[in-house]
Structure 1
Amino acid sequence: MVNLIWAFMAVIGILYAMANGTMDQVNEAVFEGAAEAVTLSIGLISVLVFWLGLMKVAEEAGILKVLTRLMRPLVSKLFPEIPPDHPAMGYILSNMAANIFGLGNAATPMGIKAMEQMKQLSGNETASRSMITFLALNTSSLTIIPTTVIAIRMQYDSVSPTEIVGTTILATLVSSVSAVLVDRFYYYKSIRGN
Structure 2
Amino acid sequence: MLNYLWAFMILAGILWGAFHGNLSAVTDGALNSAKEAVMLSITMLGIMSFWTGIMEIGQKSGLIERLSKKMGPVLHYLFPRIPKNHKSLTYIATNIIANILGLGWAATPAGLKAMESLKELEDDRRKEESQGRITGKRKAVAEGTANNEMCNFLIINTSSLQLIPVTMIAYRSQYGSVNPTAIVGPALLATLVSTVVGVAACKLLDR
Q: TM-score by structure 2 length?
A: 0.86
Match of 1:138 among 157, 162, 168: 157
Match of 1:24 in 2: 24
Q: Secondary structure at the match of 1:102?
A: coil
Gaps of 5+ in 2: 124-142
Instruction: State how far apart, in whole Å, the 1-side matches of 2:201 and 2:117 are.
Output: 24
Instruction: State how far apart, in whole Å, the 2-side matches of 1:68 and 1:171 are.
Output: 24
Match of 1:113 in 2: 113
Please identify, of 155-164 and 168-177, the stretch whose mean Cα deviation from structure 2 is larger. 155-164
Percent identity, aligned pairs only, is 45
Counterpart contact for 2:96–2:160, Cα < 8 Å: no
Gaps of 5+ in 1: 189-194
Report the alpha carbon displacement of residue 183 of structure 1 after superposing the two structures with TM: 2.0
Instruction: State how far apart, in whole Å, the 2-side matches of 1:96 and 1:164 are.
Output: 20
Match of 1:129 among 130, 148, 151: 148
Match of 1:5 in 2: 5
Which amino acid is 2:171 matched to?
Answer: I
Counterpart contact for 2:65–2:90, Cα < 8 Å: no
Report the alpha carbon displacement of residue 67 of structure 1 after superposing the two structures with TM: 2.0
Query: CA offsets per residue over residues 10-35 of structure 1, 9 Å max, x none?
Result: 21111111111111000000010001
Instruction: State how far apart, in whole Å, the 1-side matches of 2:187 and 2:21 are.
Output: 43
Instruction: State how far apart, in whole Å, the 1-side matches of 2:148 and 2:182 are.
Output: 37
Q: TM-score by structure 1 length?
A: 0.91
Match of 1:57 in 2: 57
Which amino acid is 1:24 matched to?
Answer: S
Counterpart contact for 1:119–1:125, Cα < 8 Å: no
Q: Secondary structure at the match of 1:85?
A: coil
Which amino acid is 2:60 matched to?
Answer: E
RMSD: 1.4
Match of 1:43 in 2: 43
Report the alpha carbon displacement of residue 156 of structure 1 after superposing the two structures with TM: 2.3
Counterpart contact for 2:55–2:106, Cα < 8 Å: no
Counterpart contact for 2:102–2:163, Cα < 8 Å: yes
Counterpart contact for 1:142–1:176, Cα < 8 Å: yes
Report the alpha carbon displacement of residue 93 of structure 1 after superposing the two structures with TM: 0.6
Instruction: State how far apart, in whole Å, the 1-side matches of 2:87 and 2:167 are.
Output: 28
